[in-house]
């Protein structure tokens, strides 16, 4: 590029955001990150780190100045919590990003959504972009992400081209969400399959998810094929949940999960935990929720042909290669921890 494009990545220090940042830097973009915390590792790459909260409209507007493209990755991701917190981060934060794009004359916005916006407690098998939002959402996270996605796609126009990507179950080096959760539960002896674990699920290796975002930005333009649309992103290689979970555990040097509980019992336990936590005002996430039980028991895999066609998306790193890279990263982390006199997963 003769004149480097300028990008802001909200949540640039996070799991997915940091991979998007790395690709952009490698390809010659001028990159800024907007996060609540400082990330020296980003600054070491030449990234301008701007601090602030998505709910602060002024901070968002200032952070997005002098940009060509915004990758809005940051959000509140959890299975439990106060609705107000999800609303502030996911909906109000997205409103602030959209307004900042308009005021700063930014031409492109790539929004990170989630397949959870179409999950209605039933199996999702080869679900495509025609799958509607459910009439009732099962948790605050998908409800607020769906509202934010609507806002983003409705904002598409001549001055701001928008697109929403829905990557499913992201994993890989740097994972600070999925694998740590599995590892903690397995180490505590609490990890269980819900049912047989033979339900098919899609996942996404983090580098593939990041590359999809960059490709979307490169192809996005008002009136183009991708403008104003949402796309599912995954490996395109659904596998039984128990296989994927045990492969991730094995990569971390942990034993496979062998115990299971019936779905009906898991769902009932989720009801009881939720009721007890609400009754006693416990802020922490319950060991199990109804939503989590459903996610662990249902098929959820997607037709990614639209992303292949319109975005040029190709999950170039397969699951086996991704597992090798993930295991190597975990081994490197353990070596560093041991050298520092400690130990961690």
Which residues does 133 contact at the CB level (< 8 Å), separation at least 6?
117, 118, 146
CB 174 within 8 A of CB 206: yes
**Does the pLDDT value for residue 2 go beyond 90?**
no
Q: Provide the residue range defining the domain that includes 47.
A: 6-175+203-237+302-316
User: Is 331 domain-assigned?
Assistant: no
Q: Which residue has 């991704």 as its token pair?
A: 322
Q: What is the DSSP letter of 116?
A: G
User: Is 212 domain-assigned?
Assistant: yes
Mutual orientation of helices 290-297 and 263-279 as an angle, nearest 10°? 160
CB 289 within 8 A of CB 273: yes
Q: What is the largest CA-CA distance in the chain?
A: 61
User: Is 95 domain-assigned?
Assistant: yes
Rounded to whole angstroms, how far apart are CA atoms 168 and 36?
24
- pLDDT tens by residue, 47-81: 999 999 999 999 999 999 989 999 999 999 999 99
Which residues does 338 contact at the CB level (< 8 Å), separation at least 6?
none
- pLDDT tens by residue, 111-164: 999 999 999 999 999 999 999 999 999 999 999 999 999 999 999 999 999 999
User: Is 182 domain-assigned?
Assistant: no
| Tokens at 274, concatenated | 């939720």
User: Is 171 domain-assigned?
Assistant: yes
The SS3 of residue 24 is helix
User: Is 312 domain-assigned?
Assistant: yes
Q: Which residue has 């928008």 as its token pair?
A: 162
Number of domains in the chain: 1
Q: Which residue has 């983003």 as its token pair?
A: 152
**Does the pLDDT value for residue 228 go beyond 60?**
yes
Rounded to whole angstroms, how far apart are CA atoms 145 and 65?
25
Which residues does 264 contact at the CB level (< 8 Å), separation at least 6?
none
CATH number for the domain harbouring residue 40? 3.40.50.720
pLDDT at position 339 is 43
- pLDDT tens by residue, 262-310: 999 999 999 999 999 999 999 899 999 999 999 999 999 999 999 999 9
User: Is 287 domain-assigned?
Assistant: no
Catalytic position from the list 39, 83, 111, 141: 141
User: Is 214 domain-assigned?
Assistant: yes
Rounded to whole angstroms, how far apart are CA atoms 16 and 75?
11
277 is catalytic: no
């Amino acid at each position: 590029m003769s004149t480097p494009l300028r990008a802001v990545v909200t949540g640039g220090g996070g799991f997915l955001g940091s991979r998007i940042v790395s690709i952009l830097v490698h390809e010659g973009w001028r990159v800024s990150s907007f996060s609540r915390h400082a990330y020296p590792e980003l600054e070491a790459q030449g990234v301008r780190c701007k601090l602030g909260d998505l709910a602060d409209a002024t901070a968002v507007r200032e952070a997005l100045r002098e940009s060509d493209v915004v990758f809005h990755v940051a959000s509140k991701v959890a299975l439990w919590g106060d609705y107000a917190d999800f609303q502030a981060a996911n909906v109000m934060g997205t409103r602030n990003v959209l307004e900042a794009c308009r005021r700063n004359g930014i031409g492109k916005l790539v929004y990170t959504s989630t397949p959870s916006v179409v999950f209605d407690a039933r199996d999702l098998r080869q679900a495509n972009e025609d799958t509607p939002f459910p009439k009732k959402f099962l948790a605050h996270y998908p409800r607020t992400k769906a509202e934010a996605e609507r806002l983003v796609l409705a904002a598409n126009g001549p001055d701001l081209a928008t697109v929403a990507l829905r990557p499913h179950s992201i994993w890989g080096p740097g994972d600070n969400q999925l694998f740590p959760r599995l590892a903690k539960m397995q180490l505590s002896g609490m990890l269980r399959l819900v049912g047989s674990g033979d339900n098919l699920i899609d996942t996404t290796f983090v580098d593939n998810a990041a590359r999809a975002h960059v490709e979307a930005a490169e192809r996005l333009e008002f009136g183009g094929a991708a403008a104003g649309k949402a796309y599912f992103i995954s490996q395109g290689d659904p596998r039984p949940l128990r296989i994927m979970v045990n492969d991730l555990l094995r990569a971390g040097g942990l034993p496979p999960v062998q115990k299971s509980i019936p779905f009906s019992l898991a769902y009932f336990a989720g009801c009881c935990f939720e009721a007890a936590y609400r009754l006693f005002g416990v802020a922490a996430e319950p060991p199990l929720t109804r939503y989590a039980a459903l996610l662990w028991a249902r098929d959820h895999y997607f037709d990614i042909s639209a992303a292949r066609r319109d975005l040029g998306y190709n999950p170039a790193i397969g699951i086996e290669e991704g597992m090798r890279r993930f295991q190597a990263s975990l081994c490197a982390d353990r070596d560093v921890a041991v050298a520092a006199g400690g130990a961690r997963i």
